[in-house]
């Protein structure tokens, strides 16, 4: 099912199982800071 | 990485700071995300390595009024400034604690009358430059002069010794036993240096003849 992320407002696909609590935050919000930092592309500033 | 992925990455990095209170969704434009991503990443990178939990940062609430995050730049700048203040405070307290440990050690050495000042001259020099706040570039040169022993005293340029003493007189508060020991040591070096090697040799020759 599709849900809206409670932090970013973006829609994302979420697997739902009867016994699992449904999360409303995109899974990236549970990633470790190190993993997130490894995805940052430095030096892309726009005006 | 597309616009949505960049926004997710930016907001999740903000979230990892644990300084954000989410009362609304955040909808920063792509330019805000891209212009602030690097500074935020640097701050988060620093926070990961932070061991001291006593540092306190401003908390930001995302509300319907600021959900476009136009002020993201200022939030991050405020955190970076708080980080700088923390670093400076930490460095100052760390230096003060090191200086206190030096003083404890020096006190024992100075009060030990079987030792000469030149036996602990290096430690006394380090204490003195720290107390005088001597620029780093000068410390090595001054330490070499301060720790000079024996016949090498006569090889130092008198003007260098005079400059060093003058610096100490301007910057070092007299009164402590450490300052007293440092001044005494440098004045003795200067007196020996001014007297010159020839004078010392003449005295020795005279005593041998007698």
> Domain spans of chain B?
3-89, 116-209
Looking at this predicted complex, what is its ipTM? Answer: 0.80
Contact A35, A28 (CB under 8 A): no
CA distances from B100 to A15, B73, B94, B199 (A): 61, 40, 10, 40
Q: Is A2 on the interface with B (CB under 8 A)?
A: no
Q: Which residues of A touch B47 (CB under 8 A)?
A: 33
Partner residues linked to A12 by β-bridges? A3
Instruction: Quote the CA–CA distance of B210 and B202 in Å, as a whole number.
Output: 12
Q: How far apart are CA B132 and CA B182, in angstroms?
A: 11
Task: Tell me the pLDDT tens digit for each residue of B104-147.
Answer: 999 999 999 899 998 999 999 999 999 998 888 889 999 999 99
Q: Which helix or strand (DSSP H or E) is residue B61 part of?
A: strand B60-62
Contacts of B181 (CB under 8 A, 6+ apart): B106, B110, B117, B124
The pTM of this model reads: 0.57
Assess A24–B contact: CB distance below 8 Å, yes or no: no
């Amino acid at each position: 099912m599709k849900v809206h992320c409670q932090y970013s407002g973006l829609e994302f696909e979420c697997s739902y199982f009867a016994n699992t609590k449904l999360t409303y935050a995109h899974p990236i919000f549970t990633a470790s800071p190190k993993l997130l930092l490894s995805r940052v592309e430095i030096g892309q500033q726009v005006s | 990485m597309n616009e949505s992925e960049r926004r997710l990455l930016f907001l999740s990095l903000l979230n990892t700071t644990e300084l954000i209170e989410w009362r609304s969704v955040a909808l920063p434009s792509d330019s805000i995300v891209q212009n602030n991503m690097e500074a935020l990443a640097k701050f988060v990178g620093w926070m990961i390595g932070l061991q001291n939990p006593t540092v306190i940062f401003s908390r930001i609430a995302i509300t319907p009024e600021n959900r476009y995050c136009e002020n993201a730049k200022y939030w991050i700048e405020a955190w970076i400034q708080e980080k700088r203040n923390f670093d400076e405070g930490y460095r100052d307290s760390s230096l003060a604690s090191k200086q206190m440990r030096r003083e404890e050690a020096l006190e024992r050495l100075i009060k030990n009358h079987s030792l000469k000042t030149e036996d602990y001259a290096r430690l006394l020099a380090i204490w003195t430059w720290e107390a005088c706040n001597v620029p780093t570039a000068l410390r090595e040169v001054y330490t070499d002069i301060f720790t000079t022993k024996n016949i090498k005293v006569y090889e130092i340029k008198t003007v260098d010794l005079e400059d060093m003493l003058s610096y100490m007189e301007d910057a070092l508060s007299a009164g402590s036993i450490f300052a007293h020991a440092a001044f005494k040591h440098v004045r003795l070096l200067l007196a020996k240096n001014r007297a010159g090697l020839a004078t010392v040799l003449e005295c020795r020759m005279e005593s041998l003849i007698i």
